[in-house]
Amino acid sequence: MESILNFISENQQIIYIVILMIFVGIEVIGRVPSVLHTPLMSGANAIHGVVIIGAIIVMGQAPTDNYLALILGFLAVVLGTLNVVGGFVVTDRMLEMFKKKK
Amino acid sequence: MLSNPATARKGNLTAAFGMTIAIIGTIFLYRNDEGQKLGNYLWIFAGLAIGGIVGTLAAKKVKMTAMPEMVSLFNGMGGACAALISLVEFNHLSHEIATQGIAVAHTGKLLVIGLGLLIGSVSFAGSMIAWGKLNGKVKDFSFAGQGLLNMIFLLVAIAAVIYLIIDPTQGHLIYVILVLALLYGILFVMPIGGADMPVVISLLNSFTGVAAAFGGFLYDNKVMLTGGILVGAAGTLLTLLMCKAMNRSLKNVLIGSFGGGNKAAAAGGSKEQGAYKEISLSDTAMVMSYATKVMIVPGYGLAVAQAQHTCHELEKILTEKGVEVKYAIHPVAGRMPGHMNVLLAEADVSYDVLLEMEQANDEFKTTDVVLILGANDVVNPAAKNDPSSPIYGMPILEVEQAKSVIVNKRSMKPGYAGIENDLFFQPKTSMLFGDAKKVLQDLVTEIKSV
């Protein structure tokens, strides 16, 4: 229990950010018209691809002789990139269509 | 910037740009606690290249109607990525523990790793099932006691996370968590079908966001944290909005009461049906060309038949003849909220003639002809006046206010929710049977010759 409290106090700043981002997230969605919900969902999908940063860190820290870590990390990087790149490209394609109107 | 279709694209590009900076920054500037830089550049760049190329190709090639599958697939990749990170980090940590002994400082890290793995795996397994379902490769599947079993899986997995925090030397528990989470993800999405899928996709999306945020905690990385939480919060809200559009509580969606409602409806389904009347193609063409205002209600049938382009053609021809044509779009038409708008936008339909539900409902009174293209449940009056109906209370497009209604369907079979639609038996309504694309093409030819 104590260690959890410690953890909270150590990461106070981060917890503030979390709370702030929750509000920002709600605010952002609240303003988006329902016509854009699909691109929004796929855009959000691309954004949570930030896990890739974690994957890169994992990869970069893996000792060169630890093949399990290397392989898992490599997979993580590939999948994360798929998520990010695919997500943004798909979203862009969708939004491009909305733009074509005269 | 996302609040307007015109600027949304720029917003998306900005986000992509930010992400690129974050990635490059991480690769070259990251230093761990001991101030070491990252290594294994070759692996990293190879991974980035493969993921990037495959991702771009897949995203460029996918058909607009298959968009929900794609989103779901990419989402699963993100979830898997988060789960893999947790696995590797745990191995790393347990190695540290084995050599240096248990330190209190690990508790937070273990919590984050455990939850990241749990949520990431659920999201991955769930998304894969959702992807298969939208593809039509996986069928709805449920069995008695499934809900209970699911609950047990989840609780045991959570218990395992807690136990692991208390005693981190029990390294094998991490695989118990992984397996249980994967099973939970599969079983959780399995019974959900039809109109509830978008809700699940959106929910899984926010799960992955949360998993990414845990990664942010793990590495004390603000970008990951912010992005993850942003998506988590936004996704949750979007999920709730969707539920509201269908007048279903999230709990109902997750338990899958459409399935239950189905059986009930089938049991008491001997309700008086009356007769429906059919309309011929040429009559439809006639009625539509002499109308002053036509409202098109596109539905899933249109999407399946890939008829959005033909639909736009019909709209153009009618407009040339001086008919006012608009589209009435239900928030959950298509397979994702707003999916129909994307499909119509693909066919170049102007954004200005797309009406949202409330607007459309105001305009039905002054509409001469409503053409319903493969939409069932979103125009079912039972949602308004039959409290025993499973969709009772769901906001619908009130098409029966228009002077006449023409419904295009392939057969009299009920739609997604499996509910009979009284609308089809009303005197105002005529049925026009056939595949949406074929019918629309013929209609265009007919109207040209009127």
- Its ipTM equals 0.84
What is the distance of C-alpha A53 from the center of its chain?
9
Question: pLDDT tens digits, residue range B362-419?
Answer: 888 899 999 988 777 788 887 777 777 767 777 788 888 888 899 888 777 666 566 6
Strands (E), B321-428: 324-329, 354-356, 369-373, 404-409
pLDDT for B118: 93
pLDDT for B261: 39
Query: Whole-angstrom Cα distance, residue B216 to residue B225?
Result: 4
- Here the tokens at position B215 are 């990664």
Provide the residue count of chain B.
450
Q: Determine, for residues B234 and A44 on separate chains, whether the beta-carbon distance falls below 8 Å.
A: yes
Chain B closest CA to A13's CA: distance in Å?
Answer: 10
Integer angstrom CA distances of residue B327 from B69, B305, B443: 25, 18, 17
The candidate with the shortest Cα–Cα distance to B79, out of B124, B43, B37, is B124
Q: Determine, for residues A36 and B8 on separate chains, whether the beta-carbon distance falls below 8 Å.
A: yes
pLDDT for B80: 94
Chain B closest CA to A72's CA: distance in Å?
Answer: 6
Beta strand B429-433 with B324-329 is unpaired
Q: Is A31 helix (H, G, I), strand (E, B) or coil?
A: helix
Q: Determine, for residues A48 and B205 on separate chains, whether the beta-carbon distance falls below 8 Å.
A: yes
Sequence-separated (6 or more) residues with CB below 8 Å from residue B240 = B250
* Contacts A59 to B, Cβ<8 Å: 38, 40, 43-44, 47
Q: Determine, for residues B55 and A17 on separate chains, whether the beta-carbon distance falls below 8 Å.
A: no
- Here the tokens at position B428 are 């105002």
Window 10-69 of A: residues touching B by CB (8 A cutoff) are 10-11, 14, 17-18, 21-26, 28-62, 64, 68-69
Chain B closest CA to A27's CA: distance in Å?
Answer: 8
* Contacts A26 to B, Cβ<8 Å: 233-234, 237
Q: Determine, for residues A48 and B22 on separate chains, whether the beta-carbon distance falls below 8 Å.
A: no
| A58 contacts B56 by C-beta, under 8 angstroms | no
Q: Closest to B30 (Cβ–Cβ): which among A3, A14, A57? A: A57
**B368 catalytic residue (yes or no):** no
- Banded model confidence at residue B35, pLDDT cuts 50, 70, 90: low
Query: Whole-angstrom Cα distance, residue B304 to residue B428?
Result: 27
Question: pLDDT tens digits, residue range B127-156?
Answer: 999 998 888 787 777 777 777 888 888 899
In A1-102, which ranges are continuous DSSP H helix?
2-10, 12-31, 37-47, 51-61, 67-81, 87-99
- Here the tokens at position B289 are 């060309």
Query: Whole-angstrom Cα distance, residue B129 to residue B140?
Result: 10
Q: Read off the pLDDT of each residue in B237-254 and give the average, rounded to a whole number.
A: 77
Q: Closest to B77 (Cβ–Cβ): which among A72, A73, A82? A: A82
Q: What is the DSSP secondary structure assignment for residue B352, as one 8-state letter? A: G
Q: Closest to B19 (Cβ–Cβ): which among A84, A93, A96? A: A84
Q: Would an 8 Å CB–CB cutoff place A96 in contact with chain B? A: yes
Q: Closest to A58 (Cβ–Cβ): which among B41, B85, B208? A: B85
- Banded model confidence at residue B56, pLDDT cuts 50, 70, 90: very high
Query: Whole-angstrom Cα distance, residue A42 to residue B68?
Result: 9
Percentage with pLDDT > 70 across chain B: 88
- Banded model confidence at residue B159, pLDDT cuts 50, 70, 90: very high
Report which residue type is found at B93. Answer: L
Q: Please give the model's pTM, rounded to 2 decimal places.
A: 0.79
* Contacts A38 to B, Cβ<8 Å: 67-68, 334, 336-339, 341-342
> Which among B167, B220, B377, B386 is annotated as catalytic?
B377
Q: Determine, for residues A81 and B52 on separate chains, whether the beta-carbon distance falls below 8 Å.
A: yes
- In the predicted structure, residue A100 carries a pLDDT above the cut 80: no
Integer angstrom CA distances of residue A81 from A49, B28, B224, B312: 7, 17, 14, 36
Query: Whole-angstrom Cα distance, residue B260 to residue B27?
Result: 51
- In the predicted structure, residue B268 carries a pLDDT above the cut 50: no
The candidate with the shortest Cα–Cα distance to B224, out of A24, A48, A77, is A48
